[in-house]
């Protein structure tokens, strides 16, 4: 009898790791969508020498830098160790040029006023891009037995890096960011899901002596996800 109990205990212990492994689900997904910057990146006084701007003799100019709404694409790797708790790594590349709006005070004639040195319809464009990445904790609000629909929320930490020619104009090009988001996915076949997400990267952008500004860069994406495991 003791040998039988020992055998059962040994088999149980041997099966525990495999049972835990069977519960773990892995998923990989690709996505594309919109990059929506909620505010100007930064602004302050910028010096231009004579001739750098046509028709301007040079001097200090009020400058505002902002990213354009643009297309983004990327991918994710997700691990679900349980039905409701998951961990996710995400990376996205954004094809967003930067606008530079320039203003200068005009004193004569008349009272002081501010005019745009460049046409509002054709702002100074800086060829740039944005690379964003994060690691997130994901919680499933709706999971089985209500599949094929899954609804989830997420929170995490990441970074935002401004590339291209933006480094020629700005000293700060990378920032640590917090993230939060929500989304849903719908199963269309075994292991294949249609997925939609909204994720907010929030961070404080600081540039020299200029006023630091909080940023909210939204990624609104849709794509396909492929899952493996139980």
For the domain that residue 33 is a member of, what is the CATH number?
2.40.160.20
Q: pLDDT by residue (tens digit) across 38-92?
A: 988 888 777 877 777 666 677 788 888 889 899 999 999 999 999 899 999 999 9
Question: Between these two residues, 58 and 182, which has the higher pLDDT value?
Answer: 182
Residue 57 lies in a domain: no
Using pLDDT thresholds of 50, 70 and 90, give the confidence band for residue 5.
very low
Residue 206 lies in a domain: yes
C-alpha closest to that of 195 among 161, 220, 215, 173: 220
pLDDT, average across residues 98-109: 69
pLDDT computed for residue 229 by the predictor: 81
126, pLDDT greater than 80: yes
Q: Which helix (H) or strand (E) holds 213?
A: strand 213-229
The domain tally of the chain equals 1
- Average of per-residue pLDDT values in the chain: 82
Contacts of 226 (CB under 8 A, 6+ apart): 27, 28, 29, 191, 192, 193
Range of the domain at 202: 25-39+69-97+127-229
- Long-range CB pairs of 156-159 (<8 Å, 24+ gap) are 156/88, 156/180, 158/90, 158/132, 158/133, 158/134, 158/201, 159/132, 159/133, 159/134
215, pLDDT greater than 80: yes
Residue 59 lies in a domain: no
């Amino acid at each position: 009898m003791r040998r039988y109990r020992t055998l059962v205990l040994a088999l149980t212990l041997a099966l525990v790791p495999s049972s835990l492994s069977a519960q773990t689900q892995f998923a990989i997904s690709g996505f594309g969508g919109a990059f929506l910057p909620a505010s100007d990146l930064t602004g302050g006084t910028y010096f231009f020498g004579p001739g750098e701007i046509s028709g301007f003799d040079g001097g200090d100019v009020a400058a505002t830098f902002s990213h354009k709404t643009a297309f983004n694409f990327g991918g994710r790797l997700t691990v679900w160790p349980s039905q409701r708790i998951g961990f996710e790594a995400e990376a996205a590349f954004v094809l967003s040029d930067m606008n530079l709006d320039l203003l200068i005070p005009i004193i004569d004639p008349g009272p002081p006023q501010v005019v745009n040195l460049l046409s509002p319809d054709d702002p100074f464009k800086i060829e740039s891009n944005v690379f964003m990445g994060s690691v997130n904790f994901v919680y499933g609000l709706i999971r089985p037995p209500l599949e094929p629909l899954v609804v989830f929320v997420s929170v995490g930490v990441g970074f935002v890096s401004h590339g291209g020619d933006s480094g020629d104009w700005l000293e700060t090009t990378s920032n640590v960011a917090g993230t939060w988001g929500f989304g849903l996915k719908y199963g269309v076949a075994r292991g294949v899901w249609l997925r939609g997400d909204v994720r907010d990267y929030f961070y404080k952008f600081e540039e020299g002596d200029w006023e630091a500004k909080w940023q909210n860069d939204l990624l609104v994406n849709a794509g396909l996800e492929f899952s493996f495991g139980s």
